[in-house]
A and B are shown apart, each in its own frame.
Chain A
């Protein structure tokens, strides 16, 4: 075989990657539940049966797509947040990662409860990547008095609830636009303001 000629295994891997990327794009556009395997095959330019050569069931394809998304978004967060990040840095990194993968992530948040168990668990896995960085930064800042003391789960869920509300209602907050780009800076400023110790703008 000539040097550089793809092997059968390479071609198989390329087709698998193409199917995952195509499905990810289509699910971001149309929704995860609304995307049919035949739509993925047509967009990818392969026979419908080819999808099932790589994924035994539709749920297996959804699992692979959600896994790919989780790897991208958690990897990006880890890269952007770094070890010596402040709470604000971590949240800004979360928003930056979301902005890059907003369409699919919004679908995942909205459709999560209806998805196969692994896909649901993967959303929690992504949230764990955020909560790990946030807890590390928050514990340091609570210890120095830079932010108010509060239970970590409530701190995390208050942020996530805010962000997920905007992601789930993109068409109300930013029709046809990125809701993270339009509202992210405002939400970040607002939330970080809530964390300030009483007496520094936290007093009502």
Chain B
């Protein structure tokens, strides 16, 4: 069953999508440190911003603003 990473929203449909390939972890492989712990809010913000800049060519400040907006609804960082 597909779930969503609580830290970035990526769909996770198979064990390898989860951190450490562990389906019990509710965050994805991209949001985990090598030891399996989840990234911090600042690390997630930096990582997602860099990803949007590198793959979509967005202005860095515009990408950061969009990521901050998206993070308000992600369970790991939700503000409401």
Interface residues of A (CB under 8 A from B): 63, 67, 71, 74-75, 78-79, 83, 117-118, 120-122, 124-125, 127-129, 131-132, 134-135, 151-154, 156-157
Q: How far is the CA of A132 from the CA of B51 in the complex (A)?
A: 8
Instruction: List 19 A–B pairs whose Cβ atoms lie within 8 Å, in order of A's numbering.
Output: A78-B13, A79-B2, A79-B13, A83-B16, A117-B69, A118-B72, A124-B58, A124-B66, A128-B55, A129-B11, A131-B52, A131-B55, A135-B54, A151-B57, A152-B55, A153-B54, A153-B57, A154-B57, A156-B56
Instruction: Decide: A157 and B56 in contact? CB cutoff 8 A.
Output: yes
Query: What is the chain B residue whose CB lies nearest that of A154?
Result: B57
Cβ of A153: which chain B residues have Cβ within 8 Å of it?
54-57
* Smallest CB separation, A160 vs chain B (Å): 8
* Smallest CB separation, B67 vs chain A (Å): 8
* Smallest CB separation, B17 vs chain A (Å): 8
Cβ of B63: which chain A residues have Cβ within 8 Å of it?
124
Given contacts A153-B56, A154-B57, 17 further A-B contacts (CB under 8 A): A71-B4, A71-B11, A78-B10, A79-B2, A118-B70, A120-B69, A121-B65, A121-B66, A121-B67, A121-B69, A125-B9, A125-B70, A127-B56, A129-B11, A153-B55, A156-B57, A157-B56
Interface residues of B (CB under 8 A from A): 2, 4, 9-11, 13, 16, 48, 51-52, 54-58, 63, 65-67, 69-70, 72-73
Cβ of A127: which chain B residues have Cβ within 8 Å of it?
56
Instruction: Decide: B56 and A128 in contact? CB cutoff 8 A.
Output: yes
Q: How far is the CA of A79 from the CA of B14 in the complex (A)?
A: 10
Cβ of B4: which chain A residues have Cβ within 8 Å of it?
71
Instruction: Decide: B11 and A157 in contact? CB cutoff 8 A.
Output: no
Which residue in A75, A78, A118, A129 is a CB contact (below 8 Å) of B69? A118
Q: How far is the CA of A127 from the CA of B51 in the complex (A)?
A: 11
Cβ of B9: which chain A residues have Cβ within 8 Å of it?
74, 125
Decide: A75 near B11, CB < 8 A? Known: A153-B54, A153-B57.
Answer: yes
Cβ of A78: which chain B residues have Cβ within 8 Å of it?
2, 10-11, 13
Q: How far is the CA of A175 from the CA of B68 in the complex (A)?
A: 38
Instruction: Decide: B55 and A156 in contact? CB cutoff 8 A.
Output: yes
Instruction: Decide: B66 and A74 in contact? CB cutoff 8 A.
Output: no
* Smallest CB separation, A121 vs chain B (Å): 4
Which residue in B10, B51, B57, B72 is a CB contact (below 8 Å) of A157? B57
Q: How far is the CA of A75 from the CA of B5 in the complex (A)?
A: 12
Instruction: Decide: A75 and B55 in contact? CB cutoff 8 A.
Output: no
